[in-house]
Amino acid sequence: MKRASVSLPGTPLAVRHLAVVALAVILTSAVCLVGCGSESGGGGGGLLGKLPSIAKKTMQQMEGAQKAMEKAEQKMDVNAYGKAEEKVKEIEKKAEAEAKSAIEATKGIEIPFEQEADKDKFLIKNIKVTGANFWDDGSRMDIEATFEAVADNKRGTLFAYLRFIDKDGKEIEGWAILMTMASRNKPIKSGETYTMKGSYDGIERLANVGKVVAKTREEWDSKKSE
């Protein structure tokens, strides 16, 4: 195949060569703009970075350790049961260390959110993941929300009912209920900033999460088993 060339009449050979090189660079850059990109979450595979994959891997490892414990129990093998039990603790410790490292790398993983409810009481400023825990048959993600109070609250207690939504707009199983950390004896004052804290069970379900939505208590009450 004959190579295409750029013809620049009346210019020296060196200049023509530089023009060809410049054109190649421009074309390469244009292709990269269309086809190149970086993975979200710093290569972690999604909005929550590595957390869902850590949870999924941990649950699989826990399942294997649990089966070993059940087998040892059936055989009444105390030594084998003890080893399997230690394996569970080892898996938990490793998973929590990996999760802590992933969260601390960003000083808390911020989650895009929408607030549909309770705007007459408070306005959420941000929502982030602050920690993660694992045990023999589950995982839990700690969540913190910063908000500005819109109205005074003498009891000093407010709640937020959060529902995770995937990238296709579908609700993900489970809820996170956040509560103010202020003492009941310390009223919340309008215009001041406070925090709510809570948790969500089932991190492994959040690989495709797109955002979290603050819902009404009534909606949570009608769907809390979902």
- Domain shared by 114 and 90, yes or no: no
What is the domain range of residue 71?
A: 51-104
CA gap 27, 1 in Å, rounded:
20
CA gap 76, 94 in Å, rounded:
28
Inside any domain, residue 24: no
Using one digit for the tens of pLDDT, what is the confidence trace for 40-72?
333 355 889 899 999 999 999 999 998 999 999
Question: What pTM did the predictor assign?
Answer: 0.75
- Domain shared by 79 and 138, yes or no: no
CATH number at residue 189: 2.60.40
Quote the pLDDT of residue 45.
53
CA gap 202, 47 in Å, rounded:
15
- Domain shared by 137 and 199, yes or no: yes
- State how many domains the chain has: 2
- Domain shared by 125 and 149, yes or no: yes
- Domain shared by 160 and 204, yes or no: yes
Inside any domain, residue 126: yes
- Domain shared by 136 and 56, yes or no: no
- Domain shared by 123 and 213, yes or no: yes
- Domain shared by 134 and 183, yes or no: yes
Inside any domain, residue 44: no
Inside any domain, residue 177: yes
Inside any domain, residue 20: no
- Domain shared by 166 and 212, yes or no: yes
**Which parts of the chain sit beneath pLDDT 50?**
1-43
Inside any domain, residue 119: yes
Quote the pLDDT of residue 183.
58
Quote the pLDDT of residue 11.
44
- Domain shared by 90 and 170, yes or no: no
- Domain shared by 120 and 203, yes or no: yes
Inside any domain, residue 30: no
Inside any domain, residue 203: yes
